[in-house]
């Protein structure tokens, strides 16, 4: 059985501006994941630099910071078994042109720099905790049970 975990997801400024927040939330809920935290927020430069710190020094870094701070985002924490891997599969490839139809980026993304959604990297074991702690305090996350969980998991 897969491990129950929490994962960080963000609808980026292009997704917010295009009215895709509800679609993203619906897809994740329909999958059986549980929303345990959400914020509609404006990211400042300090948080953007901290969030994308691994890309500092790369040619696209400043453009990435400019984009993510340009308009509001919706930051969320989702919970479920193998949640990070599930979200990554649902998102599709970073480049929407390489994403399969049926994925969020495959259905809504057109450009590498405007790919609608961010999710924690399942290959990096510390990514979830790091990203969640950047955007949420512990008391902003809600522990609760979905009524249908017995139908979702063995």
Q: Any catalytic annotation for residue 118?
A: yes
* CA angle at 40 for the pair 38 and 41, rounded to the nearest 5°: 120
Domains, the chain, with CATH or none: 4-141 (3.30.70.141)
pLDDT on residue 122: 83
Nearest CA among 88, 125, 120, 140 for reference residue 8: 120
Please state the pTM of the whole predicted model: 0.94
Cβ distance 96 to 109 under 8 Å?
yes
pLDDT on residue 65: 97
Strands in 24-127 per DSSP E = 34-41, 73-81, 117-119
pLDDT on residue 77: 98
Residue in 49, 51, 55, 118 annotated catalytic? 118
154 residues of the chain, pLDDT tens digit each: 467 899 999 999 999 999 999 999 999 999 999 999 999 999 999 999 999 999 999 999 999 999 999 999 999 999 999 999 999 999 999 999 999 999 999 999 999 999 999 999 988 878 999 999 999 999 999 999 999 988 988 8
pLDDT on residue 1: 47
């Amino acid at each position: 059985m897969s491990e129950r975990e929490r994962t960080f997801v963000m609808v980026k400024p292009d997704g917010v501006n295009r009215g895709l927040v509800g679609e993203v939330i619906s897809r994740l809920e329909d999958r059986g994941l549980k929303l345990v935290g959400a914020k509609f927020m404006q990211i400042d430069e300090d948080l953007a630099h901290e969030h994308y710190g691994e890309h500092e020094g790369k040619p696209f870094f400043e453009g990435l910071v400019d984009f993510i701070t340009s308009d509001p985002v919706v930051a969320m924490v989702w919970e479920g078994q193998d949640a990070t891997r599930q979200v990554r599969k649902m998102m599709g490839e970073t480049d929407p042109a390489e994403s399969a139809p049926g994925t969020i980026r495959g259905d809504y993304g057109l450009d590498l720099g405007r790919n609608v959604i961010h999710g924690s990297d399942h290959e990096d074991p510390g990514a979830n905790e790091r990203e969640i702690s950047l955007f949420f305090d512990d008391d902003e996350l809600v522990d609760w049970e979905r009524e249908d969980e017995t139908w979702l998991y063995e």
